[in-house]
């Protein structure tokens, strides 16, 4: 994997370079000392992955991420000296299209964690570049009888690169008395899930909570996958966690949530697939549509990364392809006019 380093500190650059040198599968593409230089170099020579610092002169990592994803998109991993001190910038970068974040390794510390991240991202990048669908995942068996649950309407949302900002836009557009329960799978490491939930709570009027145990979804609440485990709709119509299955590229996986919802949810439902790299969620969205649910996908123009929604469009998995700003409008309209499809 060809990897570029964007960092203005020579010691940080050298520490990262030494980590890359320990794995023969990684090749250093180029080094940039600030965000503006990174934008120029990426346009001339787009690598497989950029390791992007956040605080730099001339142009910071957030703006550089935004410009790179608009002009010459590629996978970006935020590498910053302190997660806690730069938490706001981390979520801004994730909203601009970065895939994940990790603390900058120092000599003798943190290199193993960075290598694990690189290995996982290499698998995701390979899957995104492949036109073949991912192998099927193992999901819980379907239920055989309808069960009463608190919410009559379940909205399942999947997002990846660029997702935090897109999720905030959708949730902010929904009223406090929204009649459906919402469950979200955002591709993000469990280390950042609590921060994401806290941040989303500040962006909307709905309570946002983590899925930590099997629960019947309650109308007007937002549930977020918060651990490195899948979130599923189980055979009793509850939101629950499930151990890793399939190839392990996307954990939590959007396809897993959508497919179990298509199989096990017996009331009204809607699937929404937002910005993201790769194909996760496309197959599951098609399952939801075939099961009789309304399905929405974000359009190309408003996606930070038009990967997952594009894959869904190619499968004709979405009943509506919409700009980001129209998705909450569509959800509100579905609630008002009752034009919701219920699985039979």
**Nearest to residue 224, comparing CAs of 181, 161, 260, 165?**
181
| CA 206 – CA 177 distance, rounded (Å) | 8
Any catalytic annotation for residue 337?
no
The DSSP element (H or E) to which 5 belongs, if any, is: strand 2-6
Residue 57 and residue 96: Cα distance in Å, rounded? 19
Which residue out of 26, 60, 160, 255 is catalytically annotated? 160
Strands across the sheet containing 294-298: 208-211, 222-225, 181-186, 153-159, 268-273, 294-298, 320-322
State the helix-helix crossing angle for 87-96 and 61-71, rounded to 10 degrees: 0
DSSP string, 234-246: -TTS-EEEE---T
**CB 291 within 8 Å of CB 343:** yes
Please list, in sequence order, all residues whose beta carbon lies within 8 angstroms of the beta carbon of residue 73, skipping any fewer than 6 positions away.
97, 305
Out of 26, 48, 60, 187, pick the active-site residue. 187
* 282 C-beta neighbours (distance < 10 Å), count: 28
Q: What is the CA radius of gyration of the chain?
A: 20
Alpha helices in the chain (DSSP H): 10-21, 35-44, 61-71, 87-96, 111-129, 163-172, 190-201, 254-264, 282-290, 308-314, 324-337
Contact 297, 321 (CB under 8 A): yes
317 in Cβ contact with 289 (< 8 Å):
yes
Whether 187 sits among the annotated catalytic residues: the reply is: yes
Catalytic pick from 60, 234, 280, 299? 280
280 is catalytic: yes
Q: How far is CA 298 from the centre of its chain?
A: 13
Q: How far apart are CA 10 and CA 102, in angstroms?
A: 18
Give the three-state DSSP class for 262: helix
Active site residues: 160, 187, 280
């Amino acid at each position: 994997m060809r990897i570029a380093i964007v960092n203005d500190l020579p010691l940080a650059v050298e520490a990262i370079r030494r980590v890359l040198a320990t794995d023969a599968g990684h090749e250093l593409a180029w080094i940039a000392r600030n965000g503006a230089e990174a934008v120029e170099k990426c346009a001339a020579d787009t690598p497989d992955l950029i390791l992007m610092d956040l605080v730099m002169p001339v142009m910071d990592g957030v703006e550089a991420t935004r410009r790179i994803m608009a002009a010459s998109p590629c996978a970006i991993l935020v590498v910053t000296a302190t997660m806690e001190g730069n938490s706001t910038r981390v979520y801004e970068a994730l909203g601009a299209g970065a895939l994940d974040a990790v603390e900058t390794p120092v000599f003798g510390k943190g290199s193993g964690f960075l290598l694990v991240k690189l290995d996982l991202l290499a698998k995701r990048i390979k899957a995104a570049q492949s036109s073949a669908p991912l192998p099927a995942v193992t999901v819980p068996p379907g239920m055989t009888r309808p069960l009463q649950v608190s919410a009559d309407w379940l909205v399942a949302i999947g997002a990846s690169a660029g997702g935090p900002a897109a999720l905030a836009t959708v949730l902010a557009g929904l009223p406090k008395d929204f009649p459906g329960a919402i469950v979200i799978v955002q591709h993000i490491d469990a280390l950042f899930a609590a921060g994401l939930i806290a941040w989303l709570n500040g962006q909307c009027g709905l309570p946002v909570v983590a899925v930590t145990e099997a629960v019947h979804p309650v109308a007007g609440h937002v549930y977020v996958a918060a651990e490195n485990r899948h979130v599923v709709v189980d055979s009793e119509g509850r939101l629950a966690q499930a151990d890793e299955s399939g190839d392990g590229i996307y954990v939590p996986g959007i396809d897993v949530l959508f497919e179990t919802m298509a199989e096990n949810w017996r009331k009204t439902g809607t699937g929404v697939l937002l910005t993201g790299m790769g194909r996760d969620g496309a197959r599951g969205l098609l399952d939801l549509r075939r099961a009789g649910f309304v399905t929405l996908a974000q359009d190309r123009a408003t996606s930070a990364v038009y990967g997952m929604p594009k894959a869904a469009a190619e499968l004709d998995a979405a009943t509506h392809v919409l700009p980001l700003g129209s998705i909450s409008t569509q959800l509100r309209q579905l609630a008002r006019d009752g034009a919701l499809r219920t699985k039979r």
